[in-house]
Structure 1
């Protein structure tokens, strides 16, 4: 057995330890592994190019991070707080419940990347929820603020987790189908998606109740402080 191709792993470890450019380290390790594995230089480069071309959409997601950073630097969170502050009757629970339904419905039709902690919760949903709670109950304590922000992130997770299984072409549905088939239970992805709907409805009701209970708890605390 030829163990020389494993030298590529050592190159990755050494390169990262010496803090060299990660992309360069991985590329060099890949080329070295291919050459030591008996391939010629051209097929190795072709394999790298094909892998990049097949998975180039992965690199696009990293564009979100600097874009969100620039938007936050120029006051995106402040604008979000100002916007929700001008809506009469807006509460933290109502706003997050509406976002929960939106997140589930969009995930159910396959748009699972339309929201998320980085691109939606941090710059928009969390500051709007905090502003709504502050507008209704007054200045929040640090503990209350953390609870509101945590609930905003949880709302996104719950909406995505229970909404995406309604979309029959999602990987989780195919995984469930494969596991059931291995045990002799044959179901189509559409059948599994239909049975995911009651679970999504229950998740909406349960998490929505948690939102309104948190709103009530914060309200009672501030009412007691004012008394």
Structure 2
């Protein structure tokens, strides 16, 4: 009968296969698992409520969604594009490399400026697109839709790189403290400073690889749009 308590996993798998609502699937799986574990309904609700309260920081991103809507409504996205539009020598690749550098430096200071909905979508993505249009004197219609998708993908990827490889550059970050606690439970003596020093070379290597990739992306854009610009000038 102990295996019956794993029925929640089966419910989640089936729910995802039939494309049911994610939250509904999880709640159903949790309630069914509690019932087959001889928990009364009030205890199940109390357990779910406690878990929600204990992990309430995870849901704080919901509060940022109205903020993103407001800043886009009042023109921050447009102003960011206009700002980049005034800088002639900036390229899409250079801007992405600069953002990754700022993300990693911010990670060292434990400053959280990141987030796809909060930062990348309303600011970094339009700024990178504006850099492309400004560099080659293009209108929105002259930019290939595939290249717009590539820029969206690269801005999201750079955010992921900065978050993943930069989050352990601060000795008080959650990831570093979790690893210290895990090693301690295994009777392995490791301190937070050692983990940060081990993470630093990885962050630098990531920055170099992304920089090279962005140079390649700039060259691709130059081959594709540079000819048309030179043709217009002639």
Q: Which TM class, normalised by the smaller chain length?
A: 0.7 to 0.9
* Residue 107 of structure 2: aligned partner: 107
CA distance in 1, matches of 2:24, 2:34: 15
Distance 1:38 1:213 in 2: 60
The separation in 2 between residues aligned to 1:158 and 1:33, in whole angstroms, is 37
In the alignment, the residues of structure 2 paired with residue 180 and residue 104 of structure 1 have an alpha-carbon distance, to the nearest angstrom, of 27
In the aligned structure 1, how far is the partner of 2:19 from the partner of 2:164? 39
Deviation of the 1:129 alpha carbon:
0.8
Which piece of structure 1 moves more, 115-124 or 25-34?
Answer: 25-34
Q: Using structure 2 for the length normalisation, give the TM-score.
A: 0.72
Say if 2:88 and 2:135, in contact at 8 Å, map to a contact too: no
> Map of 1:177-192 to 2, 5 A cutoff?
178=182, 186-192=189-195
Number of residue pairs matched? 224
Residue aligning to 1:136: 135
Distance 1:93 1:31, change over 3 A: closer
| Aligned counterparts of 1:223 and 1:3: Cα–Cα separation in 2 | 64
1:148 maps to which residue? 151
Aligned counterparts of 1:2 and 1:101: Cα–Cα separation in 2? 51
SS at match of 1:166: coil
2:204 counterpart of 1:201: yes
TM-score under structure 1 normalisation? 0.74
Distance 1:22 1:218 in 2: 40
Aligned in 2, Cα 1:90/1:51: closer, same or farther, shift over 3 Å?
Answer: same
Q: Provide the residue aligned with 2:175 in structure 1.
A: 171
Give me the whole-angstrom Cα distance separating, in 2, the residues matched to 1:192 and 1:116. 24
In the alignment, is the contact (CA less than 8 A) between 1:126 and 1:152 conserved in 2? yes
Contact 1:158 1:203 in 2 (8 A): yes
Indicate conservation of the 8 Å contact 1:177/1:186, yes or no: no
Aligned pairs for 1:50-61 (under 5 A) are 50-61=50-61
**Residues 1:175 and 1:38: Cα distance change in structure 2 (over 3 Å):** same
Find the aligned partners of 1:23 and 1:148 in 2 and give their Cα distance.
31
CA contact (8 A) 1:165 1:193 kept: yes
Equivalent residue number for residue 96 of structure 1: 96
Deviation string 1:81-103 (CA, Å, 9 cap, x unpaired) is 12221345433233222211111
Aligned alpha-carbon RMSD (Å): 3.8
Which sections of structure 2, spanning at least 5 residues, go unmatched? Answer: none
